[in-house]
Amino acid sequence: MNYLKEINLFYGQQELDDLSPSAISLWHALMFINSRKGWPETFSVPLQVLQSKSGLTKRSLCKARTELAELDYITVQSRKGRQSAVYQLHSFTKQTETPQQGMPSNVTHLNSSIKDSNMHHKQTTENPPTPSSKQTPITKKTQNKNHNKTHKVDHNRAPCSIQKTKQKEKKNLLCTYYNQYLKRTPSQNELQYLHQYVHSFEMKLLAYALKLTGDRHKPFSYTKGILSNWHKQGITTYDAAIQHQENYYSNKGGDKHEFSHGRNEERPEQTSHIKFYR
């Protein structure tokens, strides 16, 4: 017997017969014992051994054995006394190769179906279907092209929701700076004016302009003048503004509108305790 073929054909047949789980377990136990004995045509095995291999109780085992015998999976010959019963497994492989007279119609139909399936698989393997001339072969290039057509996404652009969140955070930060240095709440127009420099100036630089205004007790128009002057001179970072202020002190000059107190102006290092945000 061919163990693997027998198992495959067994499961094909048991789908038609709808065997009970106990009968399936007993059949596997008998197959295992028969293979260990070298595939004799008939063999005997104690009931206790079958119970151990199949995991069935004595009552369930006897019931499963009767079920297999009635459906012609096995032949059982009981013996007198304490002698073990003699079993014969009916080979599905032999039935497939040489159909016997009187074989159940469902077995014959199953065997022919398996044979037709094997023939179809063999023909498909030997003569694979050739693609039609109208069909375009699918390659990685065409797949990527189709993917780009259906998914036109700019991966370098942040989603709108993220951009709106960042803008809102920056506006809230400007309000915080305004309240901290000018000691009041900004108007909507003042906030919009500051926000127009957000994309070109560091947040730290905007905070520094508000600090200079608050330290001198000037109105918001003073902040406008500072930002406008920095924008004209191309100053966009806090470090550049500090360097510009240092140059002003060194040359004893500069824009009076921006730095009106000359040498009495607060030195840059004195602003290090202020908490800035980029």
Q: Biggest alpha carbon distance in the chain?
A: 128
pLDDT for position 137? 55
Grouped pLDDT means (10 residues each) for the chain, 278 residues? 86 83 92 92 93 92 93 91 92 67 48 55 55 51 52 50 70 86 87 86 90 92 92 91 84 52 42 44
Where, residue-wise, is CATH 1.10.10.10 in the chain? 3-112
Tokens of 66: 């009767």
DSSP 57: -
pTM confidence score: 0.37
CATH pick for 3-112 out of 2.40.50.180, 1.10.287.1040, 1.10.10.10, 1.10.3720.10: 1.10.10.10
pLDDT for position 119? 60
**Region for residue 229 given its phi and psi (left: phi exceeds 0; alpha: psi -120 to 50; beta: otherwise):** alpha
Q: In what order do the strands lie in the sheet with 86-89?
A: 43-44, 86-89, 74-77
